[in-house]
Amino acid sequence: MIIFQKIFFITLLSFLVFSVFGQKITEPQTIYLSDPPVTKFDHWTVSSDKYRDLFGDDKDFREPDQSACIPLGGIISHHNLLGPLLARYFNWLSEKRKNIKHIVIIGPDHYSRSQKGINIGTGNFHWNGKTVLNDYIVSNDWIRKLHLEIDGFPFYEEHSITTFIPFISRYFPTARVTPVIIRHDCPLRLLKELSSHISRYLTGYSEQAFILVSIDFCHNLSRDETDKRDKINRGIIVSLPHRFSCQLTCDSKRSFYVLANSLKEYEKKVHVLFHTDNEVYLGKHQENITSYFFSAVYCDVNK
């Protein structure tokens, strides 16, 4: 009799899980990242101190006085070249938002592996002996609502996501992640649906969540053209329009659109913390220039 009761209970539990999430939630797979030398990562962290004074590129910016106005989202580069700047950004964020428990990472699908335009990962990430866990309850919920399929393959070697794992592990060791990659031709309808789900999620969890958008800007341009387009880029970043902006020059306009739409209901102010490009950063002439913006979106979470 006890055996039949156990079988009935397990069957009932499986049915309930399937009903709620549209599929069984199994133990998420783990993506093992290649381990760069620890000394290099430590060097990045130490080197970040020399950029401390540079974080405040927008000299006219003043942090909002309201205690309820917090950095709820941000845009940063996914190029390992900028290791010290990434370390500085995450260190800065950990000082501003000590309570972050969930980081939604949104970036481009560089290799167009996502079959439906958007792919939401459910796997954990392992790096240097540590594991960054997936918030697979949220991840599975969004997958179900967007009618996507679970496919971990596109996240292997997708640097728009994996670049940040060592920094999250170091500065937010207890935080979970939901990685999202977006193909360049993803339908606008799907972007609006994703934004809507993120926005509703933030309504209840804004004190614990952060939306990290992974974008690099001008690519393979001359000095003059980069400077010209980055003036436009800065204006769009600061205004954060929730309409799709074709004027933005970057590798994922759709990721930017999702950030802007997810936060459109908030009173907000965007701080450009740092802006550079590979020519300025390396101090060497470059035939093809890539530019980078590091920013934070302050939102009043009480409104």
Domains contained in the chain, CATH given? 29-300 (3.40.830.10)
What phi and psi, each to the nearest 5 degrees, are found at residue 113? -95, -15
Pure H helices in 146-213:
159-162, 165-171, 188-205
Q: How confident is the prediction for the chain on average, in pLDDT?
A: 84
Predicted local confidence at residue 137, as pLDDT: 95
* Token pair 């994703």: residue: 194
The end-to-end CA distance of the chain, in Å, is 55
pLDDT in tens, 235-269: 999 999 988 888 999 999 999 999 999 999 999 99
What is the distance, to the nearest Å, from the Cα of residue 291 to the centroid of all Cα atoms in its chain?
18
* Coil, strand or helix at 292: strand
pLDDT digits (tens, 9 = 90+) for 218-230: 999 999 999 999 9
